[in-house]
Chains A and B, each alone.
Chain A
Amino acid sequence: MANDVGALVSVPGIARWFVRTWPRRIAIAMVVVLLLVIAAVGGFARVPPEPVRQVAAGEVVDLGPYTVSVESFFVSDQVDVYGLPEEADAWIGVVMELENTQLDGLFVDYQNFTLDGAQLVEARSTTVLLLADDSRASFLSPNLPVRVAMLWSVVDPDTIGDEVRLSLIETYEDTSFLFEETSWYVGDRIGVVEVPRDDDIPPAIVDEEP
C-alpha cells in the first residue's frame, strides 16, 4: 500500500507513477511526437563536414590566438643542423608569417599545423626559426609579426615534389566552467594550403658546414 516503498521505487512502480495522471500522459505523448517529427524532417542526420577551404599562399588566416600567412617551403639539411633527429635526413621548412593577436605573449601551438606530402619523422613540428637571425621563435609577442620557418624532419627528401599540403587547424578560447580559467582548445581544420617550393633559403638560418 502507501507504505510499500520498495514497490514504488521498482521500475514498474516508477513507470506507473509517470503515467498516473492524464496531464503526464499528454506531456509524454507530446515529447514522443516531437522526437518523431524531428527524426522525420532529418534532424538527427549527421551534418556533412564543410568542405575544407583552399587557402592561397600569402593569404592571412586567423587561427584563433594568432594569424598565419604561408609563403613557401624548402628542403634542406643545412638549417638547425644540430637539432635534426638522427633518423631523419633533412628538414622541410615552411616559411610563414605569424602574428599574435592577443594581449599576452604565447607559444606557437604545433597542433595548428599538419603537413602532408613528405615522409615525416614526427607528425608534429617542434621547431620554429626566426628568419631574421636564426633564433627560436616559438614565443610570439602581441602584434609583433615574425617571418619564420617551421621545421618538420623528414626521410627520403628526394621524393618530395614541388608542393606540400599544409592543413591549418584553428584553436578556440573557452572558459573552464569549474575554475573560470580560459584556455585554448583544438578546433576544426579551417584551411589547406598547397605550399609552393622555393629552395632559396634565407641566408641567416643556414648553418655553416659543421
Chain B
Amino acid sequence: MTGGRVPRWVVTVVMLAVLVGAGLGVNALAVQAPPNGPAGVRMSLGVDAVVHPLQLNVSGARAYETVLSEDDVPLETVGVWVLVDLSYATTDRPRGPGDFILVDERGRRYAITSRDFDTWQASPDLWVRGTLVFEVPLDALGDLTLESWASGEGPPSDTPLPYGVLDLSVDPGAIEPGPAVISEPELLPAGQR
C-alpha cells in the first residue's frame, strides 16, 4: 500500500513517537486536572457555585455538643454535631437537592444525620437558606470536605456525574456546648444568600 516509498523503519519510528507523545500529553493534562476528577466542581465559601441542576452557596460550618431536635428534645451524641449553613436553588425546575456528604481527612464519609432534620425542596432561582446537620466522631474534626451530589445518585454511581467539592475547616477546639437550635429553612429575598 505504501508503495515502498517510505521505509518501514521510518513508519515504526513515527508510530512510536506518536504513542510516546500522546502518553506524555495525557500525563501533562492529568497533572493539571483537579484532584476530584473532571466531574468535581470546586466551590468556595460564600461564593455561588453551579452543580447542575443545583446552585448553592455555603457560608460555613460550626460544631456543637448538642442540638435540639424538631420536637425541642436535646439530641446527645458520642461524637459531635457539625452544622453546615448554606442556601441553594435549582437551575431548571423544582427538585430535591440530592445528597450532601462530609468527608474527613481519613476519607470517612458522613451523610446528613438520619436521626432528625432533612434537606428541603429547591426551586429555580428561589434561594432558600437552612442548615444541614451531620453527626461525626470527635476525631473527624479539622479539615473536612463537603461534597454535593446534586443528582442524588451518590458516589456509587458509575456515571461520571458532576458533584461539588468544598474545603471546610472545623476547629476541634471550638466546639460549642449548645444546644444548637436548627432554624426552619427560610426563603431569601432576591440576591441574598
Contact = CB atoms under 8 A, between A and B. Distances in A.
Interface of A: 103-105, 130, 132-133, 135-137, 139, 141-145
A101 to B, nearest CB: 10
B69 A133 contact: yes
A105 B75 contact: no
B52 interface: no
A179 to B, nearest CB: 9
B115 A130 contact: yes
A143 B135 CA distance: 11
Interface residues of B, number: 21
A145 B78 contact: yes
A143 B115 contact: no
Contacts of B111: 105, 139, 141
Interface of B: 69, 73, 75-79, 106-111, 114-116, 135-137, 139-140
Contacts of A139: 111, 114
27 contacts: A103-B106, A103-B107, A103-B108, A103-B109, A104-B108, A104-B109, A105-B109, A105-B110, A105-B111, A130-B115, A132-B75, A133-B69, A133-B116, A135-B115, A137-B114, A139-B114, A141-B135, A142-B108, A142-B137, A143-B137, A143-B139, A143-B140, A144-B77, A144-B79, A144-B136, A144-B137, A145-B78
B126 to A, nearest CB: 30
A103 B110 CA distance: 9
A133 B75 contact: yes
A122 B69 CA distance: 33
Nearest to B137: A143
Contacts of B78: 144-145
A146 to B, nearest CB: 8
Given A133-B73, A135-B116, 10 more contacts: A103-B106, A133-B76, A135-B114, A139-B114, A141-B110, A143-B108, A143-B139, A144-B78, A144-B79, A145-B78
A132 B73 CA distance: 11
A144 B135 contact: yes
* Interface of A: prevailing SS: loop
Contacts of B139: 143
Contacts of A133: 69, 73, 75-76, 115-116
Contacts of A103: 106-109
B119 to A, nearest CB: 15
Contacts of A130: 115
Question: In this complex, which of A130, A135, A141 has the most chain B Cβ atoms within 10 angstroms of its Cβ?
Answer: A141
B84 to A, nearest CB: 15
B106 to A, nearest CB: 7
Contact of B114 (A104, A132, A136, A143): A136
A132 B136 CA distance: 16
Contacts of A136: 114
Chain A CB count within 10 A is highest, among B73, B75, B78, B139, for B78
B88 to A, nearest CB: 22
A149 B116 CA distance: 18
A142 B106 CA distance: 11
A136 B116 CA distance: 10
